[in-house]
Homo-oligomer: A and B are copies of this chain.
């Protein structure tokens, strides 16, 4: 038995709050439906109908062909909490004969909470102030008739841009309390179409989307390109806005690594091969920053591109080991028209090297096509891929070219025939100064198409 069940405590008596309500009807006896609803609401304990605007005629917005609306607004006072009032409004709509139908379809009664006192609420099923309030004359006019200063009602800007962990935690906590699922796309900025595809997937699968933009010094070695890593912030934020991001987290380094920061997370052997060998400490930096970011955002789902297959494997390990909640969603590699995997580093390539870089997907493609044609020897497949890279003069080095198990990326024994559960991974350098390009392909999927 809970020792602290509050069921028989009296909460403090709430102060009545003024609520502005949108009224609409375009089926049946419209004026009667609205009047009956207001009469019913006035009898609900904790609800008082203070004032009702004159009703006006308006054209329906969106939805199937349908008749005109009667619209108005009402001023209520209530001691109910917002979601209790919302539930009563929904029950009132149902009592008027409203049944679930298409979005913006015809309806005998439509009751919308437009404002709830001075509160800002951003929950799964109730957002106040109503996000489309200012755009709709059939809402604005009745409100003005009630003497409301509509322009003084705040509009919610998206994305909200914040730079402290505390601000993200506050937003995330409020969303979770409001029943919202949260999708997270951690990035180092320099956003391109590959990031946009991750964001759009998060947008489609989650109620709210958070993007972080942070060039993480901890995952760069001393000789690497930390300082010259591109940071086109305003273009990044425009891409976020276009793709429906709710919150952009753009911390300065000291917000991510405040004075005294000392923790490091190592994620075992799979972080020491390939990228881990080429970039010592890289995955310690990745795991440490991502653990911190995940704890800040507490996403239901976070989204990663498979181009960085080893990073995904490391983060999957990290997530399982630390029991970090949420789902890690791995998204297909996004490629440019000629087959090159999209990467923020592609902008470093000279036009000539950019052309030569097609050797990377061509190498993967050569191995996958040969495999489909019956070649199953690991070293033979690697040799075919290697030949494509070696044929390009501007390919100045191959950090690794390996066949490994998919997902876990465990080494593939040389005497085991390569089957569809294998993946081929490459890191190669092009040009001078060198740009490192990463790519990989599964032997299960279609080979990359190279233009």
Chain A residues engaging chain B, CB cutoff 8 angstroms:
1-13, 40-41, 43-47, 79-81, 83-84, 86-88, 90-92, 94-95, 98-101, 103-104, 110, 112-113, 122, 124-127, 130-132, 155-156, 158, 165, 169, 176-177, 179, 203, 207-208, 244, 246, 258, 260-270, 287-288, 291-292, 295-296, 298, 317-318, 320-325
Contacts and interface: CB of A to CB of B under 8 A. Distances in A.
Given A8-B112, A45-B95, A323-B296, A318 B263 contact: yes
Contacts of A91: 44-47, 79-80
A125 B81 CA distance: 13
A7 B208 CA distance: 15
11 contacts: A3-B244, A4-B207, A6-B125, A40-B45, A43-B44, A45-B88, A46-B90, A79-B94, A80-B87, A258-B320, A292-B321
> Most chain-B CB neighbours within 10 Å: which of A8, A95, A261, A266?
A8
Contacts of A84: 80, 83-84, 86-88
> Most chain-B CB neighbours within 10 Å: which of A5, A9, A158, A325?
A5
A262 B122 CA distance: 39
Contact of A322 (B5, B110, B246, B291): B291
A84 B88 CA distance: 7
A104 B324 CA distance: 42
> Most chain-B CB neighbours within 10 Å: which of A90, A127, A176?
A90
> Most chain-B CB neighbours within 10 Å: which of A267, A270, A295?
A295
A262 B321 contact: yes
> Most chain-B CB neighbours within 10 Å: which of A12, A122, A127?
A127
A125 B262 contact: no
B321 A2 contact: no
> Most chain-B CB neighbours within 10 Å: which of A12, A177, A323, A325?
A323
A271 B234 CA distance: 42
A41 B91 CA distance: 13
Q: Which secondary structure dominates where chain A touches chain B?
A: loop
B156 A322 contact: no
Nearest to A94: B13
Nearest to A92: B45
A104 B8 CA distance: 8
Contacts of A320: 258, 260-261
A83 B262 CA distance: 44
Q: Which 7 A-B pairs have the closest CB atoms?
A: A262-B268, A46-B91, A84-B87, A263-B321, A45-B91, A45-B92, A3-B244
A98 B10 contact: yes
Contacts of A112: 7-8
Contacts of A81: 83, 87
B263 A269 contact: no
A158 B95 contact: no
A15 to B, nearest CB: 12
Nearest to A12: B100
A267 B265 CA distance: 9
Contacts of A104: 8
Contacts of A132: 1, 5
Contacts of A43: 40, 43-44
B258 A263 contact: no
Contacts of A270: 262
Contacts of A13: 94, 99-100
Contact of A267 (B6, B156, B263): B263
A325 B169 contact: yes
Given A165-B323, A262-B321, A263-B321, A88 B90 contact: no
B292 A322 contact: yes
A104 B265 CA distance: 52
A159 to B, nearest CB: 11
Contact of A208 (B2, B176, B321): B2
B80 A88 contact: yes
B292 A90 contact: no
A295 B317 contact: no
Nearest to A246: B2
A148 to B, nearest CB: 18
Nearest to A408: B260
A395 B113 CA distance: 73
Contacts of A324: 295
